[in-house]
Amino acid sequence: MGIRFASLGSGSKGNGTLIDDGNTCLLIDLGFTIKESVRRLSRLGMSPDDVDAILVTHEHADHIHGVAGFARKFSTPVYLTPGTYQAKLMGQLPELRKINCHFPFSVGSFEVTPVAVPHDAKEPCQYVLSSGDLNIGVLTDLGHITPHVQRSYRDCDALLLECNHDPEMLAQGPYPYPLKRRVGGDYGHLNNAQAAELLGSVDLARLQHLVISHISEQNNQHDLAQNAVKPLLTDWQGSLIIASQKEGFDWISLG
């Protein structure tokens, strides 16, 4: 058995990551309308009923926009921290599962380890999912790297890692000053160099796939992000992928 994973889209206009071990299919975040979500799922050969549960990272619209509507329409269980639920009361949910972001839990055949991260949301967490002996980590929307984050993502076989912005492009770019401060601050988003720094604590002998994720369309470029992480990957044998806002990325198999 293995794991396959894909993205409905990645970035500040909407996120959604599918992780499927052949037994259980989980969706991390859903930042698109129901109609758009269904369209993007079908592009990956999936229907809404294939999604066994949604894991939410935090209440920002690019992660939560479609969650409640989708969950109600398709009776999908939703897992989230109490803080995330409080910050964005989503009304009646068919199956609301509040999680403690300091303890692992099971969903179907996955073991899910939430990881608390520094981000300007009420109680944000990111996730490492395990099935069999495979670990896949999703790590976006954090302002800086903590020792806890470094430890939690060390043994990933696949990693979706935020490379949000290039600091120079952010400084020179079109965002108003308060937003520049927010994005570049300790509770905003990882820049390319910070993402590279995180890779320093990942076991690269184990890592098969690295997906550059949550790239800013205004404040970054694909080659800048790639160039930032490449020096860390000189002897690395894995595959480097870039997730886009529009297309996400197609299924990748891990085994």
Rule CB under 5 A: which residues touch Zn ion? Answer: 60, 62, 141
Least CB distance to Zn ion at residue 30 (A): 12
Q: What is the DSSP letter of 205?
A: T
Could you give the CA distance from residue 137 to residue 152 in angstroms, rounded to a whole number?
9
Q: How far is the CB of 59 from Zn ion (least distance, A)?
A: 8
d(CA 29, CA 214): 13
Q: Looking at beta carbons only, is 141 or 166 nearer to Zn ion?
A: 141
Least distance from Zn ion to the Cβ atom of residue 56, Å: 11
Q: How far is the CB of 32 from Zn ion (least distance, A)?
A: 13
Rounded-to-integer distance, Cα 108 and Cα 100, Å: 18
Residue nearer to Zn ion on the CB measure, 131 or 248: 248
Question: 15: exposed, middle or buried (C-beta count within 10 Å: 0-12, 13-18, 19+)?
Answer: buried
Nearer to Zn ion, 21 or 59 (CB): 59
Is the CB of 9 or the CB of 51 nearer to Zn ion? 9
CB proximity list for 167: less than 8 A, separation 6 or greater? 184, 191, 193
